[in-house]
Amino acid sequence: MIVVAAGRGARFGGEGPKQYRTVGGVPVVLRAVRPFAAHPEVARIALVLPPPDAASPPPFLAELSDQQLTLVPGGAERTDSVAAGLAALGAECLVVLVHDGARPFPDRGVIDAVIAHARRGEGAVAAVPVSDTLKEAATDDPTRVARTVPRERLWRAQTPQGFPRALLERAYVRARQEGLSATDDATLVEGCGATVRLVPDSFRNLKITTPDDLALAELVAGTGG
């Protein structure tokens, strides 16, 4: 599997990447990795970090086994980092999961369901149904509402996402050839015409992007998340 943690967290602000901030005294990225490191079906983890940190990793990663963990230098874009992680996995990894290193609370049941879909030859995305009313802004004035977007059948994609390795590699070859980029891997796989399934997830599986997200994560950790 691939854990993507190569960003510098520009939107978060402050010093140091957001994935190294602590939640309940534990670095975010370590919380993100632990459930996969403990999963019996996860043979190898490619942890994609900023290049200087891949060369000289943070000390807290020492608790993870070198036999299971490979540190990979990330690229300029998320797709570059995922491609680097994919290339670092051994040939025995026929199913590949991708998880955001800034999501510290992946659920074991969701992980199991994503793996099961990928083993059946399909893509799978952890996701939650959209519950808010959605407004689309006008093209000529971002403060003016152009229309209300029906939220029925809309889901917010999260991670982990899982795919047969051959399918994910094919999607990345196509993306490279056509100069495509995406904020999640399922988008590239969908572009190949493959089936991608939605796996209902929890709002607790939040992604830390802002200081408010970090404060919310502290609350989740305090309730046993």
pLDDT at 120: 97
Q: What are the pLDDT tens digits along the chain (225 aa)?
A: 999 999 875 555 566 688 999 999 999 999 999 999 999 999 999 999 999 999 999 999 988 878 899 999 999 999 999 999 999 999 999 999 999 999 999 999 999 999 999 999 999 999 999 999 999 999 999 999 999 999 999 999 999 999 999 999 999 999 999 999 899 999 999 999 999 999 999 999 999 999 999 999 999 998 877
Give the chain's length. 225
pLDDT at 223: 80
Q: What is the pTM of this model?
A: 0.94
Question: Cβ distance 44 to 89 under 8 Å?
Answer: yes
pLDDT at 11: 55
Task: Kindly indicate whether the domain formed by 2-222 is annotated with CATH number 3.90.1300.10.
Answer: no
pLDDT at 10: 53
Q: Where are the domains of the chain?
A: 2-222
Which residues are CB-neighbours of 171 under 8 A, at least 6 positions away? 163, 185, 188, 189, 191, 192, 194
Question: Position 211: which residue type?
Answer: P
Location of structure tokens 């796996």: 199
